[in-house]
Structure 1
């Protein structure tokens, strides 16, 4: 995808921010390239932003480390450069180490991840491979996610970021200016275009 033009033109940042303010896109999101494109459909941008905001920081119940591992695994498995690149610093900021985050590339051989982390990665892989969380993965996740809210959010997070991955790739969303792809080492996912 690198070097490919977006399929829908980006609005100027100030215009996207103004639209975002009208439809409830948080200011932290409104200037991002993805929302500069999504703001071409303000209602959609508002709905997507509301869901992202809830799953990221407004009323969420799922442990943020588990959420970021889900996002990074989806970004890696689907080859979604924008998703991986945008969430790399988020993963580090919320307390994942570089080693833990990179472990999503090959979780079967990861020695730094615990049972809860491996369970949500397995659930994510189930959805990517089969369209649903399998029974074994569900039971493994249930051992670590005590509430129904956490379990619901687990599935919602996997579905949300898988959908977002598809959208990012389908629309050819470019990285923000000056941002290097596939941090920290520039190694792209085998699934990347």
Structure 2
């Protein structure tokens, strides 16, 4: 399911300007900025919307329990052959109690 290179290249460290860093905020000041965020930041409105939506989906405010949420995300990622989503959410799903068999 993995592709050799991204369809849309994420911004390199040298391409991240002050405006980008301000949008990324404090959460990325001291750690690695994942490629999903380096890619979305190229489209600031998309980045802001994704962060709002993703923050809700992955929060405790979502009505779905975390385990069931991850099952849905993994099934969707599998069906759409979305390697990045699959790789990220296998790890998150295991943290939520999913097993390899599931």
TM-score range with shorter-chain normalisation?
0.7 to 0.9
> What is the Cα deviation at residue 31 of structure 1?
1.4
Structure with larger Rg: 1
Q: Which residue is 1:83 aligned to?
A: 85
1:20 aligns with 2:21: no
**CA positional deviation for 1:7:** 3.7
Q: SS of 1:35's equivalent?
A: helix
User: Partner of 1:147 in structure 2?
Assistant: none
Q: CA RMSD in A?
A: 2.4
Query: Who is 1:99 aligned against?
Result: 101
2:39 is aligned to 37
By how many angstroms is 1:21 displaced?
A: 1.4
**Structure 1 length-normalised TM:** 0.43
Residue 70 (structure 1) shift: 0.3
Structure 1 equivalent of residue 11 of structure 2:
11
The match for 1:63 is: 65
Give the conservation status (yes or no) of the 8 Å contact 1:72–1:83: yes
User: Which one of 52, 55, 58 corresponds to residue 53 of structure 1?
Assistant: 55
Contact 1:20 1:45 in 2 (8 A): no
1:64–1:58 CA distance, 2 compared to 1 (3 A): closer
Greater percentage in helix: 1
Aligned-pair CA distance for 1:45? 0.3
Q: Which SS does the other structure have where 2:63 is aligned?
A: coil
